[in-house]
Structure 1
Amino acid sequence: MQLILIVPFRMQMWNLNTYLYGPKDDLKHRLLWREVYSAEEEAQLKALVCEAESRGLTFVYALSPGQDIVFSSSCDLTLLIRKLRQVSDLGCQAFALLFDDIDHSMCQSDTEAFSSFAHAQVTVANEIFHFLGEPPVFLFCPTEYCSSLCTPSVSKSPYLLTIGEDLLPGISVIWTGNKVISRELSPESLAEVQSVLRRPPLIWDNLHANDYDSRRVFLGPFKGRPPGLRAHLRGLLLNPNCEFEANFIPLHTLGKEHSAPLLSAALQAWMKELSLPLQPGTVSRSFSHEKTPRRGLCSGSVPLSEAQVRLLVGLYYLPHEHGPPAQNLLQDLTWLKANCHCVSVEEWRDRAGRFLAACDDVALLHSAVVNSINRALLYDIYPYIWDLRNTLLVAKAFICWLGERDTSSGAELHGVEAESWVVKGGLSGEVQVGMI
């Protein structure tokens, strides 16, 4: 809870205005959605609501009842109202009902009561919207929330057509784009869904979400969404990395979309943050909340250099795109293996030397992170840089071995345009594939 109270502070710094609360570690958000919060949980949630309000942020409380709600059950509707009334009494004035990632099937009583799955969802959403007094911010996440999930297509989806026709106009509909994790968003790509929904969508952007792969984190900038896009939207929410400290550049560039150059400015701002001796769950001294207890590792004393920060971001860039350092590593590894029958050629030796030096740079980066003055960064980033360092130690030995071998076999890396979770492991995973 201490860490989550820092979120509004950082968001205010980044010129953001909305925080949607729906953490997966709050069991009463999804799995136990019928249960009200205890007195202690109420106090924690109220503190977060008040902190967000004091920072000028709209706090949106999200609830995900879709896994087991009986839409036709007056009992379930009563429990849903009871839960949202409790949160409303804590000062929350904005809400979201999420029906993502659930089956389209309905129980027998719902089948008898509603003409379709969409009809059932819309009926409950409209009733809750009325109960809450039709708040200015009320979000609805459909089960078909991106183009790739629509059956048979966006324009012909009976589900989306029902949502557009029957959902009250004051309710905003969440959309992630062409895919769950969309490489790009454009006004043209959103025109079709806007027509079907009969309102501009609210984008839930998964560009930096990393909860689908424990070996990936995304430190790169918010990109692929042109500034003019917002005129075609009800709003835009960025679903960030699970690790708090990993989100500095993503959120910094989201909040300052019109400044340029975005990445360089964000890197400079992050450099200042990383030079502070922060423990996990803290911000700078100007923030009044009490610091959390220090953890096991001893404090470091050295800030990361600008070159090291740029290397770190380049190694863990975006789900569809590696940064230059990662691209060079993969290209050199692929070329060296494919041309291992030419190990005596000067070009092979030169590229091998470059690859080995890059591996050494990552090892030095690992040491720098471990000894960094900013311990908050260490605890969030360490598993990723440790994994990559060890993978590259093996890759380095592999290239040295190739240099002493005489072989005529090669290999290529193959990629396809697919969802980002198809290829696991990020750069570490691709390096491992490159050695097969």
Structure 2
Amino acid sequence: MFVSVRMQRWGLNTYLYGPKDDLKHRLLWREVYSPEEEGHLRTLIVEAQSRGLRFVYALSPGQDIVFSSSCDLTLLKRKLRQVSDLGCQAFAILFDDIDHSMCQADSEAFSSFAHAQVTVANEIYRFLGEPPVFLFCPTEYCGSLCSPSVSKSPYLQTVGEDLLPNITVIWTGSKVISRKLSVDCLAEVESVLQRPPLIWDNLHANDYDSRRLFLGPFKGREPQLRNSLRGLLLNPNCEFEANYIPLHTLGSWYRAGKEEKKGEGSGGKDEYCPDRALSAALHDWMDELNQPLQPGGGPRQKTQGRGSCGGKGLLSESQVRLLVGLYYLPHEHGPSAQRLLQDLTWLKTNCHLVDEWRGRASRFMSLCEEIAELHCSVVGGANRAVLYDLYPYVWDLRNTALVAKAFICWLGEGECLHLQSVLEGVPRVWGIMGECSFTKFGTSSGNF
């Protein structure tokens, strides 16, 4: 319910259901939902529709479907008819991240892998009564996966020529996770597909690395892009509470694009600016971050004590900015992470500049202390929903900061603190975002 409320508030209009932990979405796609599962799905569909959101049900049969099998086709229709009977009016069939090879029966029935997929997609689209929204995710869903290239890909050419024109094709850009998207970069794929694509944006997705989190603003996408697309979907972080800023700023981007189309945003304050959008999102998020909420949106239960940090009070906006800067975007560090890396690199190579070194070391140590205080504020805060989603990441940050601090003390020959006392109580495994360890601090430039 929380996500639908937020989406409605920020002007977003579509929710695509395709969770990997629903086994009947991918691995067991042939199986229909039980009455209890039907009830959960119906609740989601009704909730979305009551708030003016389009609910899109996605199915991923590509791992083991036999395209030429009438039995598999019947099971596919049965599954989608079940969801349609629950009130769903928009669908997606996904063939991403699967092997290109076909079984012998399919090789005899179809001229190519793309031909097999398109044939099934067209039949399912007709079977469902040609719904106004029907999405198709190709196996070659970004430029880097196309062979030999976007414009010369036989696979995409078949999709463009044979897929029914009102079926929308999903695309992620030049890469699976594209740093930038522009009107020009999409012109080529639009020409091959013979229709504007729908962008499935993986900018904030973190399901490929459990040590990473992306809290930065929606960025690197021209607001004018929306005029060249059939839509844009943001694939978010796995942790619900981590998506406040990504979705809030996506709403700002969308509204800016609408104003640009009307000619009201040219050269004015309504043009989309990631930094301004981030500040607006942070301002709104602060109203929720210190509320006593449990996961799922329930009120906080009374508990005894606040743990080892003791609860230092409310999270401040500067602390949240620090967290966002340390877990920013996949291709870009935020300001706080950049500052840490720059100072650490300089401190490693300039120990001979004693006076300046001590000043910068002091600044570096202060930032490490701020990270430790951030950890305590999250742990001691009233919002348990935020704590449970973000705790592994702030714990990682705290431990990495302690190790970095210890390393700087070691470089300074123990002038600040003794290494042993700093490391007391720190686990044997350190690092954030899967890239940083104590050994690396001593042997390379290091990465936060």
What TM-score do you get using the length of structure 1 for normalisation? 0.89
Is it true that 1:306 corresponds to 2:317 in the alignment?
Answer: yes
- The structure, 1 or 2, with the larger RCO (C-alpha pairs under 8 Å, 6+ apart) is 1
Match of 1:435 among 429, 437, 442: 442
Q: Equivalences for 1:215-234 in 2 at 5 Å?
A: 215-234=211-230
Q: Which amino acid aligns with 1:222?
A: F
Is it true that 1:246 corresponds to 2:261 in the alignment?
Answer: no
Q: Show the counterpart of 2:361.
A: 352
C-alpha contact 1:281 1:292 (8 A) present in aligned 2: no
Q: 1:90 to 1:294 in 2, by over 3 A?
A: farther
Match of 2:336 among 306, 312, 325: 325
Bigger shift: residues 60-69 or 354-363: 354-363
Q: Show the counterpart of 2:47.
A: 51
**Unpaired runs of 5+ in structure 1?**
283-290, 406-423
Q: Show the counterpart of 2:370.
A: 361
In structure 2, how many angstroms separate the alpha carbons of the residues matched to 1:293 and 1:82? 42
Query: What's the CA shift for 1:303?
Result: 2.4
Q: Equivalences for 1:153-302 in 2 at 5 Å?
A: 153-257=149-253, 258=256, 259=270, 261-282=276-297, 291=298, 302=313
Query: What's the CA shift for 1:59?
Result: 0.1
Q: 1:155 to 1:80 in 2, by over 3 A?
A: same
Is it true that 1:116 corresponds to 2:112 in the alignment?
Answer: yes
Q: Equivalences for 1:383-422 in 2 at 5 Å?
A: 383-404=392-413
Q: 1:211 to 1:303 in 2, by over 3 A?
A: same
Query: What's the CA shift for 1:429?
Result: 2.2
In structure 1, how many angstroms separate the alpha carbons of the residues matched to 2:140 and 2:8? 32
Alignment length, in residue pairs? 404
In structure 1, how many angstroms separate the alpha carbons of the residues matched to 2:399 and 2:304? 20
Q: In percent, how many aligned pairs have the same letter?
A: 75
Query: What's the CA shift for 1:298?
Result: 5.9
Deviations 1:303-353 (A, max 9, x none): 21111111111111111111100101111111211234x1x5212111111
In structure 2, how many angstroms separate the alpha carbons of the residues matched to 1:53 and 1:111? 42
Q: Which amino acid aligns with 2:203?
A: L
Q: Show the counterpart of 1:287.
A: none
In structure 2, how many angstroms separate the alpha carbons of the residues matched to 1:297 and 1:29? 41
Match of 2:87 among 86, 91, 114: 91
C-alpha contact 2:326 2:333 (8 A) present in aligned 1: yes
Deviations 1:292-311 (A, max 9, x none): 88598867683211111111
C-alpha contact 1:303 1:374 (8 A) present in aligned 2: no
C-alpha contact 1:311 1:325 (8 A) present in aligned 2: yes
Q: 1:123 to 1:428 in 2, by over 3 A?
A: closer
In structure 2, how many angstroms separate the alpha carbons of the residues matched to 1:68 and 1:160? 21
Deviations 1:212-269 (A, max 9, x none): 1111111111011111000000000000000000000100010122256211111101
Q: Partner of 2:285: helix, strand, or coil?
A: helix
What TM-score do you get using the length of structure 2 for normalisation? 0.87
In structure 1, how many angstroms separate the alpha carbons of the residues matched to 2:15 and 2:391? 27
Bigger shift: residues 306-315 or 94-103: 306-315
C-alpha contact 1:301 1:373 (8 A) present in aligned 2: no
Q: Show the counterpart of 2:263.
A: none
Q: Which amino acid aligns with 1:187?
A: V
In structure 1, how many angstroms separate the alpha carbons of the residues matched to 2:24 and 2:432? 32
Q: Which amino acid aligns with 1:339?
A: N
Query: What's the CA shift for 1:435?
Result: 3.5
Q: Partner of 1:357: helix, strand, or coil?
A: helix
Q: Show the counterpart of 1:286.
A: none
Is it true that 1:131 corresponds to 2:127 in the alignment?
Answer: yes
Q: 1:95 to 1:425 in 2, by over 3 A?
A: farther
Q: 1:169 to 1:222 in 2, by over 3 A?
A: same
Q: Equivalences for 1:5-154 in 2 at 5 Å?
A: 5-154=1-150
C-alpha contact 2:57 2:92 (8 A) present in aligned 1: yes
Q: Partner of 1:256: helix, strand, or coil?
A: helix
Q: 1:425 to 1:252 in 2, by over 3 A?
A: farther
Q: Show the counterpart of 1:374.
A: 383
Q: Partner of 2:96: helix, strand, or coil?
A: coil
Q: Partner of 2:58: helix, strand, or coil?
A: strand
Deviations 1:60-102 (A, max 9, x none): 0000000000000000000000000000000000000000000
Bigger shift: residues 263-272 or 89-98: 263-272
In structure 1, how many angstroms separate the alpha carbons of the residues matched to 2:305 and 2:194? 56
C-alpha contact 2:431 2:437 (8 A) present in aligned 1: no
Q: 1:118 to 1:426 in 2, by over 3 A?
A: farther
C-alpha contact 1:19 1:57 (8 A) present in aligned 2: yes
Cα RMSD (Å) of the superposition? 1.9
Q: Show the counterpart of 1:410.
A: none
In structure 1, how many angstroms separate the alpha carbons of the residues matched to 2:437 and 2:150? 37
**Unpaired runs of 5+ in structure 2?**
257-269, 415-429, 444-448
